[in-house]
Amino acid sequence: DAGITQSPRHKVTETGTPVTLRCHQTENHRYMYWYRQDPGHGLRLIHYSYGVKDTDKGEVSDGYSVSRSKTEDFLLTLESATSSQTSVYFCAISPGPDDADTQYFGPGTRLTVL
Amino acid sequence: QKEVEQDPGPLSVPEGAIVSLNCTYSNSAFQYFMWYRQYSRKGPELLMYTYSSGNKEDGRFTAQVDKSSKYISLFIRDSQPSDSATYLCAMSAGRGSTLGRLYFGRGTQLTVWP
């Protein structure tokens, strides 16, 4: 998985609790992305980062925030988890501007919100 | 209408068959076209990458892009049981300022039986 790890790999939580997912890469790639994958919707972009402390929203960003304090780490936080955020979350990386659409994915985190 | 349409299948073929997977799209700005393979409970893996119209071959896999029809295809020759996976098409309008924003199809589930 191109030097990408995600933690935790599985998590069950309750509605209303905050949850943080971590993506760690060893490729020194500049761009990082968070996606969610749901049946019938495919992969949808939540947030992305184009450098340390530089982040922006994707198409389904409501209820999520991100932070990137180091090149290798990109955190996704669900501020107050809801059942609609039950999903599989994937982190992806790409080298930089000239290769931004060449994205490599991590193994995913399966999140269940009860 | 979704920007990228992909028949979810499932598609079931015997070993050795030629498989054809397809996507259509509506945004004429798309220039870069990708195919990802995703095994069950794994992250998507970049399989093929093409720019603009034309064909690209890699072993048993051929990617074809017809921009005039807004139609892309992935052909798998001599299919093997190990090809059983979900295949996702993805596309982007470009690099640089768009930061490689990818638009995914929902994926087609393929089973190759021995």
Confidence of residue B114 (pLDDT cuts 50, 70, 90): very high
B82 touches chain A (CB under 8 A): no
> Residue A72: what are its φ and ψ, rounded to 5°?
-85, -15
- Shortest alpha-carbon distance between residue A80 and chain B (Å): 26
Give pLDDT tens digits for B64-88.
Answer: 999 999 999 999 999 999 999 999 9
Per-residue confidence (pLDDT) for residue A96, from 0 to 100: 75
Confidence of residue B3 (pLDDT cuts 50, 70, 90): confident
Across the interface, which of B32, B90, B106 has its CB nearest the CB of A41? B106
**What letter does residue B28 receive in the DSSP assignment?**
T
Sign of the alpha-carbon torsion through B28, B31, B32, B35: positive
Cβ–Cβ gap A90/B43 under 8 Å: yes
C-alpha span between B41 and B50 (Å, rounded):
26
Cβ–Cβ gap B32/A40 under 8 Å: no
pLDDT above 70 covers a percentage of chain A that reads 95
Give pLDDT tens digits for A49-79.
Answer: 988 989 999 989 999 999 999 999 999 999 9
Residue type, A84: S
- Asked whether the bond before A18 is cis by omega within 30 degrees of 0, the reply is no
Across the interface, which of B99, B105, B106 has its CB nearest the CB of A100? B99
Question: Quick check: B5 and B59 in contact, CB under 8 A?
Answer: no
Across the interface, which of B32, B92, B106 has its CB nearest the CB of A42? B106
3-state secondary structure of B102: coil
> Residue A98: what are its φ and ψ, rounded to 5°?
-80, -10
- For residue A51, the chain B residues in CB contact (below 8 A) are none
C-alpha span between A54 and A44 (Å, rounded):
20
Mean confidence (pLDDT) of chain B? 91
- Asked whether the bond before B8 is cis by omega within 30 degrees of 0, the reply is no
